[in-house]
Amino acid sequence: MRDDKLGYYHVCTDGNAIAWMFQDDEDFIAGVNRVGLCVLMTCVEVVAFILMDNHVHFVLYGSAVKCKAFINMYKRLTGRWISNKYGLSDYLRLLPAEMIRIADEEALMNTIAYIDRNSIVAGYKCMPCEYPWGTARYMFRDKSDATVKDVVCARIGSMPIVQQRAVLKTRISVPGDWLICQNGMILPSSFMDLGHVERIFKTPARYSYFLAKKLEGMVEMQMNESRRTFMTDKELREVTKQISRKLYGVDDVRSLDVKSRMAIARKLRYDYASTVKQISRMLYLDPDLLGGFV
């Protein structure tokens, strides 16, 4: 692992919570593009990802706060897409998302392989390297095959702004040197360091070994054990101060009435997966009072 202030996180949404997130290729293409937009807006590094029909998985590298901001933004942009296309407002508003800090290199390789295996575990009939909506297809490829079967239409900067917005369906400014495929999907190599995973596994043989392991039970057990707050009190205290400042214009939550602190408590619970006891410490509230509220 690198800087101890940063870390690797397995970030995912609950695959049992909703019937679908993506219904057709257009949804998946837009979903991949949103990964790039979230990278731009949060400066988090995406190491690996996969989009499944009703949930998503990421391995992210960054601070806990920024990685949480990444998944919150991804959910928000996806919810907006679903609302605009399908007329379902607030469809993802309370969709649970989890963040598990990855402890060591072995766990990191297990988690990446678990993510890359998701397609075949879900019944996809081809090898993970053929699944179009994840990063397995880009690992340990012949570097002369730079586009990995995706026909690149153009550098985004070569397209007029109006065309960019029409194809990407966003007004967010995207770097001009990013590549876009004929189907409108931003090539993941534009917003990811695809060599990052190769440096972690070191050889194709080692990657294949982990990919062949049945990791579902192991990783899911780690996820079950980690269903608690992922932020230290020090980190969450700063987040609490930021929320209080944004909502009420004050840094010290002790100056707020109970109703206002309860509003912050809901955000800490649903946006940051904090425990009732930790929220009580942040907001100086009785845990029994919070227990029936968040």
Check which CATH number belongs to the domain holding 82 and give it: 3.30.70.1290
Quote the pLDDT of residue 22.
Answer: 97
Q: Are residues 20 and 136 in the same domain?
A: yes
Q: Is residue 48 assigned to a domain?
A: yes
Burial class (CB in 10 A: 0-12, 13-18, 19+), 151: exposed
Tell me the mean pLDDT in the region 87-112.
89
- Tell me which of 44-58, 78-92, 223-237, 255-269 is least confident: 223-237
Q: Are residues 106 and 49 in the same domain?
A: yes
pLDDT at 96 over 90: no
2 pLDDT band, cuts 50/70/90, is very low
User: Number of C-alpha atoms within 13 angstroms, CB side, residue 279?
Assistant: 26
> Which position has the higher pLDDT, 3 or 34?
34
Structure confidence by residue, pLDDT tens digits, 198-223? 999 999 999 999 888 876 656 666 65
Q: Are residues 121 and 23 in the same domain?
A: yes
Q: Is residue 152 assigned to a domain?
A: no
Report d(CA 95, CA 15) in Å as an integer. Answer: 10
Q: Are residues 218 and 250 in the same domain?
A: no
Q: Are residues 109 and 241 in the same domain?
A: no
Q: Are residues 95 and 114 in the same domain?
A: yes
pLDDT at 294 over 80: no
Helix, strand or coil, per DSSP, at residue 55: coil
Q: Are residues 55 and 82 in the same domain?
A: yes
Q: Is residue 175 assigned to a domain?
A: no
Q: Is residue 150 assigned to a domain?
A: no
Distances in Å between the Cα of 2 and the Cα atoms of 105, 189, 281 are: 11, 22, 30
Tell me the mean pLDDT in the region 28-34.
97
Q: Are residues 241 and 283 in the same domain?
A: yes
Q: Is residue 75 assigned to a domain?
A: yes
Among residues 207, 225, 243, which one ends one of the domains? 225
Burial class (CB in 10 A: 0-12, 13-18, 19+), 191: buried
Instruction: Give the CA-trace dihedral at 113, 184, 181, 136, to 10 degrees.
Output: 0
Report d(CA 14, CA 97) in Å as an integer. Answer: 6
What's the total number of domains in the chain? 2
Helix, strand or coil, per DSSP, at residue 186: strand
Q: How many CB atoms lie within 10 A of CB 218?
A: 14
Two tokens, residue 56: 């998503």
Report d(CA 63, CA 69) in Å as an integer. Answer: 10
Q: Are residues 285 and 201 in the same domain?
A: no
Q: Is residue 165 assigned to a domain?
A: no
Two tokens, residue 108: 């990191």
User: Number of C-alpha atoms within 13 angstroms, CB side, residue 97?
Assistant: 24
What percentage of the chain exceeds 70 in pLDDT?
Answer: 87
Q: Is residue 157 assigned to a domain?
A: no
Among residues 204, 225, 246, which one ends one of the domains? 225
Cβ 42 vs Cβ 62: under 8 Å: yes
Cβ 16 vs Cβ 166: under 8 Å: no
Structure confidence by residue, pLDDT tens digits, 119-140? 988 888 888 889 999 999 999 9
pLDDT at 91 over 70: yes
Structure confidence by residue, pLDDT tens digits, 135-160? 999 999 876 655 555 566 789 999 99
pTM of the model: 0.76
Tell me the mean pLDDT in the region 62-81.
93
Q: Are residues 53 and 196 in the same domain?
A: yes
Determine the distance from the C-alpha atom of residue 237 to the mean position of all C-alpha atoms in its chain, rounded to a whole number.
23
Quote the pLDDT of residue 150.
Answer: 57
Q: Are residues 115 and 249 in the same domain?
A: no
Look at phi and psi of residue 90 and say left if phi exceeds 0, alpha if psi is from -120 to 50, else beta.
Answer: left
Q: Are residues 121 and 41 in the same domain?
A: yes
Quote the pLDDT of residue 153.
Answer: 73
- Domain that includes residue 265, residue range: 233-291
Quote the pLDDT of residue 5.
Answer: 75
Q: Is residue 97 assigned to a domain?
A: yes
Among residues 201, 225, 249, which one ends one of the domains? 225
Q: What is the CA radius of gyration of the chain?
A: 20
Report d(CA 204, CA 141) in Å as an integer. Answer: 9
Structure confidence by residue, pLDDT tens digits, 244-288? 999 999 999 999 998 999 899 888 876 676 778 888 898 998 887
Two tokens, residue 141: 């490829």
1 pLDDT band, cuts 50/70/90, is very low
